[in-house]
Structure 1
């Protein structure tokens, strides 16, 4: 037979159950907190790099590739069609004005020169012959002119005699008319002869002018060939260094073909290339920065080639320090072209984070955790990134890569 428990026993059992429930609740809570601590992400402070948000200018830039080239380069072309007979200076050798670089075979040009010289002498001889022949003809015409003049004088006297005889009755009217006709014919012949002499003199003058033009043209051609034969001893016209020379002995070159390049290595410029997608943003006179071994050199765009080659545009940058000690021919450099400037804005040092981040957000350091906050990212350059909103001056943000955590709102710092 069951007996009813006393009040003291029931109270003790109640306290016991409450205690057991409390212990169970504590254990569950501890388990939950422990599990959360196990799944909550964390990162070591030494694994990240941060930078402080500050206020200052940010210049937006386009990245391009560049190569250092001499500012002044002499391109030597072959003056004649010839063969390379001798290479006097090789690539890398220094030259002074007048130093010979190449020697070209002048045999072909010498033949052309000799032929033209013979033609010139023949034309000169022809000119002498022409003058002598015309002088002889003019002498004959002038002699004939004198005869005609005497004949006219004689006929004039004959006409006077016939008129006198007709007057005294010793002649006839027909004889007077015949004398007048003979005089008119002689006068016409005399006038025609005078016109012929004038025409012959004008023809002589025209022929002399034509032959003079031919002689002058041939003379200039002779001077040009003579100058080209002198240039076949290819010489430098300014101090510099041979950067390239066609050193294939015996090979043929055409007139106008490049056979050597000389560069003045005392000053340089930058030859840059960029995708034609940015063609509209290239402007003459725009500021540019050239980075050479972590040293920035300032410059401006001085020339832009009008044609596109293989999807790229070539441009040239004049440097403020064109003779900087770091500049070397053919040295590859990084080029940054300025497109816009924010004079006073919130900025932070550029880093890998901004190359891999997805969307406008940054990690901000808050005591012992990193918080992912929305932030509007503006213009940038290799040194700084503009943060238009989401942060304040003095905030410390992560600039190292956080690609594995880009969707996590909070990360503990160990």
Structure 2
């Protein structure tokens, strides 16, 4: 009888792999779970993170947006006329640069022998024409006297013929004269009447003729007087006078130089009123308008003025504008004194604004908003811009925090972890 099979069994020792299988499976599972967790954390931080010290943040707020232009300029005299020569000649400058002059003071003279000679000739011609006019008046009086004598003689002859005619009437009634003599007396009376009538007409015609001749001579004299008057004005204009009270600015020609007509001679600066001359970039030229307020800074002194003129041309990519400000004569100003200015283009009250930054370089259509140390890219719409602020039309609310500087390192990623 067989009790059991124990005598046939062989003891086999367990393999090492089977002992380690469960711990290995548990370890691999833990490693896999760690990798998944790490991958999830890495995915949430958009793979890349940026040091917050390299970024500049700004909070969106509501306020007044002031659009302005910052520029520089200089002080110029509001009235600084340039004096020109009126004729060709040799100039003599009577005042030095920096000398004070009064209104109407002679500051330079131009010697023009040609003009002086022409003036003397025309004056002599005027005197000759005036003499001819007086002679014509005497001749007219003489002719008037002659025709008056003819009229008087015709009147006497008419009276004599009329008397003879009446005598003939009496004699013919008494048959003391012949019919032929009677008719001759009537013919003489008729002839005397015609001569008297013609004499009257000749007197009237001579009076009109003499008046016409005298009038023509008068017109010639007046015309010549105008020529002399104009030449006299030109001769007087050879003395260059100061149009305003002020100081002599610069000589534009040398002393005793021979100059042409209409050539600049010197400048006179009126120190009673100053203006500011600004150089505005041409990109803002279309936004400028007359009457806009301008803040001017002369060191620690600030004044407010208004745009008074805008140049229609562009030079060196700049537009020149003039600013007129009050109480310029009470300020201690100098010609060509440098200044800084701020042109106020527009005020927009109660708008959503954010500080200006290099995030505008992305086209002004996207921005990064920060929430819980993570910057999320979002689409925005921006409006008016000033030198320091930008209006936000869409994509933001008051209290939002945006990255306004340092966004060039984001490389347009949708999400950035800020550490």
Note the C-alpha offset of 1:130.
0.6
- Please say if residues 272 and 335 of structure 1, whose CA atoms lie closer than 8 Å, have aligned partners that are also in contact: no
Change (3 A) 1:41 1:34: closer
Matched, 1:16 2:24: yes
- Please say if residues 53 and 348 of structure 1, whose CA atoms lie closer than 8 Å, have aligned partners that are also in contact: yes
What CA distance in whole angstroms lies between the structure 2 residues aligned with 1:59 and 1:111? Answer: 67
Output the TM-score relative to the length of structure 1.
0.78
Matched, 1:122 2:136: no
Matched, 1:408 2:416: no
1:79-94 alignment runs, 5 A limit: 80-89=86-95, 93-94=99-100
What CA distance in whole angstroms lies between the structure 2 residues aligned with 1:126 and 1:41? Answer: 110
- Please say if residues 356 and 389 of structure 2, whose CA atoms lie closer than 8 Å, have aligned partners that are also in contact: yes
Q: Which residue of 2 aligns with 1:95?
A: 101
Larger Rg: 2
What CA distance in whole angstroms lies between the structure 2 residues aligned with 1:125 and 1:326? Answer: 62
Q: Which residue of 2 aligns with 1:389?
A: 394
What CA distance in whole angstroms lies between the structure 2 residues aligned with 1:222 and 1:257? Answer: 25
Note the C-alpha offset of 1:268.
1.0
State the superposition RMSD in angstroms: 4.1
- Please say if residues 59 and 381 of structure 1, whose CA atoms lie closer than 8 Å, have aligned partners that are also in contact: yes
Match of 1:72 among 62, 74, 79: 79
Three-state SS of the structure 1 residue aligned to 2:270 is: strand
What CA distance in whole angstroms lies between the structure 2 residues aligned with 1:101 and 1:2? Answer: 137
Output the TM-score relative to the length of structure 2.
0.78
Query: Which whole-Å deviations, capped at 9, do the CAs of 1:103-129 have from their partners, x for residues lacking one?
Result: 211322211211111011111111111
Query: Which whole-Å deviations, capped at 9, do the CAs of 1:119-147 have from their partners, x for residues lacking one?
Result: 11111111111111111222222222221
Three-state SS of the structure 1 residue aligned to 2:125 is: helix
Change (3 A) 1:226 1:367: farther
What CA distance in whole angstroms lies between the structure 2 residues aligned with 1:325 and 1:89? Answer: 25
What CA distance in whole angstroms lies between the structure 2 residues aligned with 1:329 and 1:117? Answer: 49
What CA distance in whole angstroms lies between the structure 2 residues aligned with 1:91 and 1:50? Answer: 57
Note the C-alpha offset of 1:269.
4.7
Change (3 A) 1:22 1:219: same
Query: Which whole-Å deviations, capped at 9, do the CAs of 1:167-197 have from their partners, x for residues lacking one?
Result: 2112244433333333223222222222222
What CA distance in whole angstroms lies between the structure 2 residues aligned with 1:352 and 1:291? Answer: 28
Change (3 A) 1:291 1:284: closer
Matched, 1:42 2:50: yes
Match of 1:210 among 199, 210, 216: 216
Change (3 A) 1:238 1:308: closer
- Please say if residues 71 and 267 of structure 1, whose CA atoms lie closer than 8 Å, have aligned partners that are also in contact: yes
1:213-224 alignment runs, 5 A limit: 213-224=219-230
Change (3 A) 1:35 1:362: closer
- Please say if residues 48 and 400 of structure 1, whose CA atoms lie closer than 8 Å, have aligned partners that are also in contact: yes
What CA distance in whole angstroms lies between the structure 1 residues aligned with 2:327 and 2:412? Answer: 47
Unmatched 5+ stretches in structure 1: none
- Please say if residues 363 and 397 of structure 1, whose CA atoms lie closer than 8 Å, have aligned partners that are also in contact: yes
